[in-house]
A and B are shown apart, each in its own frame.
Chain A
Amino acid sequence: MKAAVIVFPGSNCDRDVAVALEQSMGHAPDMVWHRDTHLGAYDLIVVPGGFSYGDYLRSGAIAAHSPVMREVAGRAKDGTPVLGICNGFQILIETGLLPGALMRNASLKFICRDVLLRVETSTSPFTGAYDKGDVLRIPIAHHDGNYFADDATLDRLESEDRVALRYCDQQGKLTPEANPNGSARSIAGILNEGRNVLGLMPHPERLADALLGGNDGRAMFDGLVEACAA
């Protein structure tokens, strides 16, 4: 399996996700610089978290128009799994690969802490190693993670089983208190129509090893390896 991690000026979770991928794949992914206009053959592309281009204009807006993202968008349309974490999610939304928008957190604060997530579907290469209804503890670290879309888009995401993860409490219930950033319908992660693109605000790579205090995120990477081998 070959994986690529896209690196922008200001990415800061690229190495963390590379470590998590290496743990699951058995070898390191390629780090691909944002100016690259040709992307080799990959089974998985990860757009990592961070502050690409200093969040200038809007989070992810400048990165979305970088040369490498045109390549990534093409691969996504051809069915290659593309995982966007945090700023990566913001970038995928700005490229139009995923619907909606990520607005300033309702509290206006940057939030960096563990949250609980409910797995809403296991029908995707990213969530196949989880069961629907599983409650995961995964950290978030963002200022602009407040998912917004119009009601028609939200209804469509739900009816097509494209909401992958929601913020929940310990019992797996969706409550306003368990929603850290004001996201519409407690949405933490969504899939594209082809189910090969996932964007999520939480950072599974940050809790993918017991040494880090938890490994609920690991199954996402293990599951991707399994899905790519199948």
Chain B
Amino acid sequence: MKARIHITLKQGVLDPQGKAISHALEALGFSGVDGVRQGKYIEIDLQEDDGEAARASVDAMCAKLLANTVIEDYSIEIES
């Protein structure tokens, strides 16, 4: 199975990189951008066949290492 993980800064945590990207988009003439949040994308190939077990395992990986839960949120997609 494959796990796809998105990690982004929590709402309420200032994201200076997202802000800089937003300003750059504006400077390039892209109007109508309300906000940009920048994050990380991680793919993990798993030996696990069971979707629920895979999700639980990846959730533990995120909490322990992949995300810093003081400032970051994460979301997990599992694909068989």
Contacts and interface: CB of A to CB of B under 8 A. Distances in A.
B70 A104 contact: no
Interface string A94-126: 100001110111111000000000000000000
A58 interface: yes
Given A57-B65, A61-B65, A65-B65, A148 B20 contact: no
B13 A148 contact: yes
A108 B66 contact: no
Interface residues of A, number: 17
Interface of A: 57-58, 61, 65, 94, 99-101, 103-108, 148-149, 182
In the A-B complex, the 3 residue pairs with the closest CB atoms: A101-B70, A101-B71, A108-B16
Interface of B: 13-14, 16-17, 20, 65-66, 68, 70-71
29 contacts: A57-B65, A57-B66, A58-B68, A61-B65, A61-B68, A65-B65, A94-B68, A99-B70, A100-B70, A101-B68, A101-B70, A101-B71, A103-B13, A103-B14, A103-B71, A104-B16, A104-B17, A105-B16, A106-B14, A106-B16, A107-B16, A108-B17, A108-B20, A148-B13, A148-B70, A148-B71, A149-B70, A182-B14, A182-B16
Given A57-B65, A65-B65, 13 more contacts: A57-B66, A58-B68, A61-B65, A101-B68, A101-B70, A103-B14, A103-B71, A104-B16, A104-B17, A108-B17, A148-B70, A148-B71, A182-B16
